[in-house]
């Protein structure tokens, strides 16, 4: 079954943009606690630029939409989040190149995105980064024939809470060492909004 089309992928980007705008202050507050304090602003601006781009372009494939989003994020978003999310969407695009996006292709694309985040961010699981969420989603997809997308959202939410008790070892948060405990990783939260947005546009069936 085809689960992503060009139109659904464009809708996904629009849903992400709306969530980043709606939750900009929350993401900024999370980042102020342990980071540079600009994550919400960067995410809202970045996906605003993504939607502005895709609204005025024609695409032949899902891969092309995601590549466009990736390039826009890399060009328009400062800090670490632009290159990291750009890498994730670019890896997804490459996995989907020349293919219709059924559940197997989608699973592979998420796996490749997680690996891309690990490589780009030099992160391992449990280091309080957005990679934690993407890795857990990848693991869930590998283990399950997904019928209910809400199960993935539950995985995301559980992982976000797990990051609260982790000690950061990457990025600005790592400077706080033990004081980074007790705070949710902002990249994990913005990753949740990306998958929550996908839930709005996907109708996954076994």
pLDDT of 175 reads 41
pLDDT greater at residue 81 or residue 166: 81
pLDDT of 176 reads 44
| pLDDT, mean of residues 107-135 | 87
Residue 113 tokens read as: 């995105």
Interval 21-71: pLDDT, tens: 999 999 998 888 756 778 899 999 999 999 999 999 999 999 999 999 999
| pLDDT, mean of residues 85-112 | 96
Residue 154 tokens read as: 């539950």
How far is Cα 16 from Cα 178, in angstroms, rounded to an integer?
32
Residue 133 tokens read as: 């969420």
Confidence of residue 186 (pLDDT cuts 50, 70, 90): confident
Confidence of residue 114 (pLDDT cuts 50, 70, 90): very high
Please provide the size of the chain in residues.
206
Residue 1, SS3 per DSSP? coil
pLDDT of 122 reads 80
The residues, any chain, with a CB within 8 Å of residue 138's CB and separated by 6 or more, are 107, 110, 111, 113, 114
pLDDT of 123 reads 78
- The β-bridge partners of 83 are none
Interval 124-180: pLDDT, tens: 776 668 898 999 999 998 876 666 677 888 887 887 777 666 555 545 444 444 444
The residues, any chain, with a CB within 8 Å of residue 135's CB and separated by 6 or more, are 114, 118, 125
Angle made by CA atoms 134, 147, 152, in degrees to the nearest 5:
25
Tell me the CATH number of domain 2-204, given options 3.50.50.60, 1.25.40.340, 1.10.10.10, 3.40.190.10: 1.25.40.340
Residue 72 tokens read as: 């826009």
pLDDT greater at residue 181 or residue 96: 96
Its pTM stands at: 0.87
What are the domain boundaries of the chain? 2-204
How far is Cα 172 from Cα 107, in angstroms, rounded to an integer?
31
How far is Cα 85 from Cα 175, in angstroms, rounded to an integer?
23
pLDDT of 183 reads 58
The backbone torsions φ and ψ at residue 32, rounded to the nearest 5 degrees and listed phi first, read -65, -30
How far is Cα 134 from Cα 137, in angstroms, rounded to an integer?
5
Residue 111 tokens read as: 């796996």
């Amino acid at each position: 079954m085809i689960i992503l089309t060009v139109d659904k992928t464009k809708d996904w980007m629009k849903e992400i943009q709306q969530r980043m705008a709606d939750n900009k202050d929350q993401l900024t507050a999370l980042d102020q606690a342990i980071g540079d304090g600009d994550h919400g602003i960067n995410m809202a601006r970045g996906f605003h630029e993504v939607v502005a781009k895709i609204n005025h372009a024609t695409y032949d494939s899902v891969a092309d939409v995601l590549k466009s989003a990736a390039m826009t994020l890399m060009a328009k978003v400062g800090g670490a989040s632009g290159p990291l999310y750009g890498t994730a969407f670019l890896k997804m695009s490459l996995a989907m190149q020349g293919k219709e996006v059924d559940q197997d292709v989608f699973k592979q694309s998420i796996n490749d995105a997680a690996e891309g985040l690990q490589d780009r961010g030099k992160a391992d699981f449990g280091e309080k980064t957005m990679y934690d969420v993407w890795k857990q989603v990848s693991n869930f997809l590998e283990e399950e024939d997904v019928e209910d997308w809400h199960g993935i959202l539950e995985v995301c939410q559980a992982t976000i809470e797990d990051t609260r008790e982790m000690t950061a070892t990457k990025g600005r948060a790592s400077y706080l060492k033990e004081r980074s405990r007790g705070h949710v990783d902002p990249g994990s939260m913005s990753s949740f909004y990306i998958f929550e947005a996908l839930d709005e546009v996907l109708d996954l069936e076994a």
